Amino acid sequence: MTSGAMPRDSGPHDTAPYDLVVVGGGPAGVAGALTAALAGLRVARVDSGPRLGGQYFRHPAVPGRAAGLDRFLRQARALGARADVLLRHQVWAASREPDGDLLVHCTTRNAAGTSREERAVVLRARRLLIATGAHDRPLPFPGWDLPGVLTAGGAQALLKGGGVVAGRRIVVSGTGPFLLPVASGLAGAGARVLGVYEANGGLGLARHPLLALGKAGEAAGYAAALARHRVPYRTRQAVVAAHGEHEVEAVTVARLDRDWNVTATHVVECDTLAVGYGFVPQIELGTQLGCQTRHDVDGSPVLTVDTTLRTTVPGVWAAGEPVGVGGWRLAELEGRLAGRAIIADARTSRTAGTSGIAGTFGIAGTASAPGTTGASSTAGTSGSTGALPTAGAQPSGAPAAGANANGAPATSPDVGDAPSTGADVGGARAARVDVGGGEAVAVVPPVFARRRERWRAFGEALQRAYPVKPGWQGWLRDDTLVCRCEEVPLARVREAQALGATDARSVKLLARPGMGWCQGRICGYAVSCLAGERPQPPRRPIAQPVTLGALASLAPDGALIPGSAPVPDSAPTSDSGPGSAPASGGAGGGAPDDHPAH
């Protein structure tokens, strides 16, 4: 199987609402979308990238296959046959209509991604699954703005997506097991990896039985790869400064105490530095819709969900990293569970004689007639009647759940080892789960619930094993840029604090960190730490970059101008995905994986 077989842009655009729109084409989004599509729901799956895969299943342009990739590719292919797969569609906002439907606001370029022309597309949906993953979490240090300094995820995205090795003499630094695949991938691709510097102690993985259980084999594989390429792995050490006239030429590596205070230093000459201090879940679409958040073990704001992955906002589910960083296996499982809950919700709506959120949750107004959205270019699937299909029924000629694309029986071995979706929903074997208000409307078999608990505990243990310790703040100098977009040095942050700013928001208002291009995605965590508080949920009305031209194509009330003609690409009105800047991650827009399918 090759990535050339992956679905590319597909999907008719008309105006009937989808039963489900899934944002995110990683393991969570694909599993959720496929589960729902197999049961006959009309599904659209949207991703800003040129192909499905997300962060983990980016198709390697270099030899080596990620564990689970074949299975993921089967899922993605099955999804392409049953749902609208909208690639290169960047979602910048989600909103609720008075009738209860959800609008998913995207921008897109032409199918090949070669044009700079961008146009707005709005999808109307009864339900939304947020599976937007996470992006890298960098920390500032002197010289982190030099060319040649990348996030670990950025270096990996270059390699996996385009086969580009970020440099020739590379240092990898930060914390967490993610440093290992990055270093071994770079070494395997021919780079000389001069060292992996893990700021925490080396027993992180082994200390927790769950970690040892779940990752021992994988860790051993990476250890063997590093040994083969003679890459030193040093614990309680980290890069605390990068040096160079025009680009990075050397880094200062420090020995650290338990709190990451520097105890000794030495200099390593290199041309590239890849740094990563964990991940930041992307939850903007959820917070735009008013979803409640909580703080995860590592302090990151994540979306609050119940056991069926339902958020606190009717009609909105979330799965994978936006619910808490925990790895691709957990993300896939959560996608499946969310898909099952969504099927149950659709059936409940149908049984209740309603056609969506408005009926189900008592939102004022009637569900819109098919094809009418108030936004004339709103995309949807054709042939919708507004009535939700039963599991197993197909509205548009797709194979029924329980049959594959060739009409063969049996359905979704690849959506997991679950019994078939259609049989489970409402089936006698399934556990019914209370999702609020005492009403059992969703189905999560206990075996899945237990598995999710186990993997979630694993994810949390991982976060505990690789914390960010406060000593990093001592690595900064007065002139160290904390916010690169607005060029705010540490001294200005401290001035703001001296003027009375006691939280990150006040620091931002007084000193402008987070006001620029990336809207705090890169510096937000650091500014919160410097201000002495946990990171707060994002309050961004624009989740991803959108051009003034695309915005100008929207009518004043936010509806899309009929026709949604292509508009010229112009300066972004807000933030950019961190893809193109130095020390930027691979998430969000601009990921450099624009190579032809292979």
Ligand X SMILES: Cc1cc2nc3c(=O)[nH]c(=O)nc-3n(C[C@H](O)[C@H](O)[C@H](O)COP(=O)(O)OP(=O)(O)OC[C@H]3O[C@@H](n4cnc5c(N)ncnc54)[C@H](O)[C@@H]3O)c2cc1C
Would you tell me which residues interact with ligand X (CB under 6 A)? Answer: 23-29, 46-49, 54-56, 90-91, 131-136, 153, 156, 178, 181, 279, 282, 320-321, 327-328, 331, 543-544, 585-587
Which CB sits closer to ligand X, 142 or 327?
327
Contact indicator for 240, 277 with CB cutoff of 8 Å: no
Q: How far apart are CA 15 and CA 487, in angstroms?
A: 44
Closest distance of CB 202 from ligand X, Å: 19
Q: How far apart are CA 254 and CA 237, in angstroms?
A: 5
Q: How far apart are CA 46 and CA 87, in angstroms?
A: 6
Cα–Cα distance list, 137 to 67, 96, 151, 460, 583 (Å): 24, 30, 8, 17, 10
Q: How far apart are CA 171 and CA 194, in angstroms?
A: 5
Closest distance of CB 55 from ligand X, Å: 3
Which CB sits closer to ligand X, 26 or 339?
26
Closest distance of CB 500 from ligand X, Å: 35
Q: Where are the beta strands (DSSP E) in 126-208?
A: 128-130, 134-136, 149-151, 169-174, 192-198
Which CB sits closer to ligand X, 52 or 435?
52
> How many angstroms separate the first and last alpha carbons of the chain?
10
Which CB sits closer to ligand X, 7 or 320?
320
Closest distance of CB 27 from ligand X, Å: 5
Closest distance of CB 48 from ligand X, Å: 4
Residues in CB range of 292: below 8 A, 6 or more apart: 303, 304, 311, 312
Closest distance of CB 286 from ligand X, Å: 11
Which CB sits closer to ligand X, 141 or 279?
279
Which CB sits closer to ligand X, 139 or 363?
139
Which CB sits closer to ligand X, 78 or 441?
78
Closest distance of CB 243 from ligand X, Å: 26
Helix (H, G, I), strand (E, B) or coil at 211: helix
DSSP string, 262-295: EEEEEEEE-SEEEEE--EEE--HHHHHTT--EEE
Closest distance of CB 594 from ligand X, Å: 13
DSSP string, 493-541: HHHHHHTT--SHHHHHHHH-TT-STTTTTTTHHHHHHHHTSPPPPP--S
Which CB sits closer to ligand X, 279 or 525?
279
Closest distance of CB 181 from ligand X, Å: 4
Closest distance of CB 153 from ligand X, Å: 2
Which CB sits closer to ligand X, 100 or 324?
324
DSSP string, 399-441: PPTTB-TTS-B---GGG-SSPPHHHHTT-TTSPEEE-STT-EE
Residues in CB range of 397: below 8 A, 6 or more apart: none
Which CB sits closer to ligand X, 39 or 318?
318
Which CB sits closer to ligand X, 370 or 466?
466
Closest distance of CB 86 from ligand X, Å: 9
Question: Which uninterrupted H or E stretch holds 54?
Answer: none
> Chain centroid to CA 348: how far?
29
Helix (H, G, I), strand (E, B) or coil at 239: strand
Question: How many angstroms separate the most distant Cα atoms in the chain?
Answer: 70
Contact indicator for 561, 119 with CB cutoff of 8 Å: no
User: Which of 251, 226, 227 is closest to 241 using CA atoms?
Assistant: 251
DSSP state of 581: S
Contact indicator for 89, 46 with CB cutoff of 8 Å: yes
Angle at 225 between CA 3 and CA 240, to 5 degrees: 100
Closest distance of CB 90 from ligand X, Å: 5
Contact indicator for 94, 102 with CB cutoff of 8 Å: yes
Which CB sits closer to ligand X, 21 or 531?
21
Contact indicator for 160, 63 with CB cutoff of 8 Å: no
Query: 132: which 2 tokens?
Result: 């937007």
Which CB sits closer to ligand X, 69 or 529?
69
Closest distance of CB 393 from ligand X, Å: 28
Closest distance of CB 154 from ligand X, Å: 7
Which CB sits closer to ligand X, 48 or 200?
48
Sign of CA dihedral 500, 505, 507, 510: negative
